[in-house]
Structure 1
Amino acid sequence: MSRIPTLTFLREQLRRTRQARGLSQEQLGKLINYSSSQVSAVETGERPVPPDYLARVDRVLDTGGLFGTMLELIRFHAAPDWFRPWEENEREAVALRWYDPTVIPGLLQTEGYARAMLGTVGELTAEEVEARVVARLARQAVLAADPRPHLVAVLEEHTLRRQVGDRAVMREQLQHLLAVGTEPNVQVRVVPADTPWHIGLHGPFILARLASGAELAHLDNQLRGQTVDGPNDIAALERRWETVAGEALPRRQSARLIEEVVKTWT
């Protein structure tokens, strides 16, 4: 099944299932704690389908997890072939260390930021952008898994100041970083803009430790990403992580810096 029909089919089934139960958008919204306008926006495609929305619909309408299963299918089709193995590793990880010198890490992106960023990829149609936004938001559920993985994300201050989307998108994104950074399993740390050039600026990378004890890493380039697990590669990336983490401000100081940058996007 292709990406676009899968996403369209999901929306159609949400609407048809609601109508078959004799519920208006307002009535369903009250049952799942969403507004009628939000229900309408999901069904018409004006906004991505939040994973939590599907979980609530499955529970309230007693669908046996139908819509959650459809979301997994969408995730599978939306992800590039080369990324699917890393998604599995991400789900199994007990600890993630993520450095990106250019953008907010995908697990911490808001809907608006993800859409604006993916929209700049000229090879993607609007429907494909929508599917990837849905998939990216769904990936974020890993941060609330049981047990929760520990995530440390190191960003560059320049990333907080580089506009993606409009000013409202940036303000919302930075406010989200502040909110998620208060979770006990998430640390958001920032490398100040006046930090001299360091080796981490060569490119983004993610280090993952699985429950089995295996250590893996993910590297991105302009065309695709790759997973590496060779001991020498992991050791080299560990050293680079120590460098970027050493340059980053501590958690609370990073939050104060983000708070200051939020004000510039008002």
Structure 2
Amino acid sequence: MEGETVELIRAQLRRLRQNAGLSQEDFGKLVHFSGSQVSALELGQRPADRHFLKRADEVLNTGGLLMSLLKMAELDRQPNYLRPWLEAERNARQLRCYHPTLIPGLLQTENYARAVIRADDMLSDDEVEKRVAIRLDRQAILGQQQPPKLVAVIEEAALRRVDEGFRGLMAQQITHLIECVERPHISVHVIPAEVSVHVGLAGPFTLARDGDGGWVGYLENQLGGTPVDKDEDVATLISRWESIRSEALPQRQSMLLMKEVMTSWS
């Protein structure tokens, strides 16, 4: 499937360029590439990167077609086991997310996401940027016309995990969280540090409810993650969610705590 999508990108690029009456040389000048580089891209001898396709969309006035196809190709590269969860996330009417150590991915800023992903020293710079782009693309569900209701629970410790070099990035991230909860479909609740032990510390997970009322879950781990769809396992996650949520502060108090964390740094 991935190869088919990549080939479709090349074919559409070639068709759009020709329909615009542009030679490879002329098109290259507009997108700041050489004619030979454009030829290599269209023949599949060189991969098309995000910068090139974004510029090509602008020059050819495609309405974002090429970038949309690239997003499809990037999602196709996700492991087979993850694709059902990505589909469930895209179609969810409700999302419930808990993470004991990090800000959940759907609420991360680009800089925070990049720092978290870059912590894996096995990834190349190019792979880091691809993963950041995919994470940000997944956040688009929160900005659609009928977004899902997202309720996230995080730990106070995740807000306070800073050093001198990380503080500006975290201030940006917490500001983003506060802006998110001003939207009617997003709630963020903080478990205060004095709650030292609870069932959620066993690990992060997310629950998604579709339009028919069915739930599926997703467990994050060191190897990526595991979708959960067995009824008894989903029921266990829902029960644990209720327990975790009961430990967290109400939204208004959570916002005050987030602001207090930032104030404490100055």
Question: What is the identity, as a one-letter code, of the residue corresponding to 1:222?
Answer: Q
Task: Please provide the CA RMSD for this pair.
Answer: 3.2
User: Which position in structure 1 is the counterpart of 2:46?
Assistant: none
Question: What is the identity, as a one-letter code, of the residue corresponding to 2:90?
Answer: R
Q: Which runs of 4+ in 1 moved over 6 A?
A: 21-25
Question: What is the identity, as a one-letter code, of the residue corresponding to 1:89?
Answer: A
State the 1:224 CA deviation: 2.7
- Give structure 1 stretches of 5+ with no counterpart: 26-41
User: Which position in structure 2 is the counterpart of 1:106?
Assistant: 105
State the 1:24 CA deviation: 9.6
What is the rounded CA distance, in whole Å, between the counterparts of 1:149 and 1:59 in structure 2? 30
**Are 2:213 and 1:213 equivalent residues in the alignment?**
yes
Q: Secondary structure at the match of 1:219?
A: strand
State the 1:171 CA deviation: 0.9
User: Which position in structure 2 is the counterpart of 1:29?
Assistant: none
- State the aligned residue count: 232
User: Which position in structure 1 is the counterpart of 2:66?
Assistant: 67
- Cα deviation digits, residues 65-94 of structure 1 (max 9, x gap): 423323423531553443222111100000
What is the TM-score with the length of structure 1 in the denominator? 0.76
Structure 1 residues 78 and 194: CA distance shift in structure 2, 3 A:
farther
What is the rounded CA distance, in whole Å, between the counterparts of 2:265 and 2:128 in structure 1? 25
Kindly indicate whether the alpha-carbon contact (under 8 Å) linking 1:208 and 1:216 is maintained by their aligned counterparts in 2: yes
Q: Which of the two has higher C-alpha Rg? A: 2
What is the rounded CA distance, in whole Å, between the counterparts of 2:56 and 2:51 in structure 1? 12
Q: Secondary structure at the match of 1:85?
A: helix
User: Which position in structure 1 is the counterpart of 2:87?
Assistant: 88
What is the TM-score with the length of structure 2 in the denominator? 0.76
Q: Secondary structure at the match of 2:189?
A: strand
- Give structure 2 stretches of 5+ with no counterpart: 21-25, 33-49
What is the rounded CA distance, in whole Å, between the counterparts of 2:229 and 2:221 in structure 1? 17
What is the rounded CA distance, in whole Å, between the counterparts of 2:144 and 2:56 in structure 1? 19
- Cα deviation digits, residues 141-177 of structure 1 (max 9, x gap): 0111231100000000000011387221111111100
User: Which position in structure 2 is the counterpart of 1:150?
Assistant: 149
**Are 2:201 and 1:169 equivalent residues in the alignment?**
no
What is the rounded CA distance, in whole Å, between the counterparts of 1:262 and 1:108 in structure 2? 18
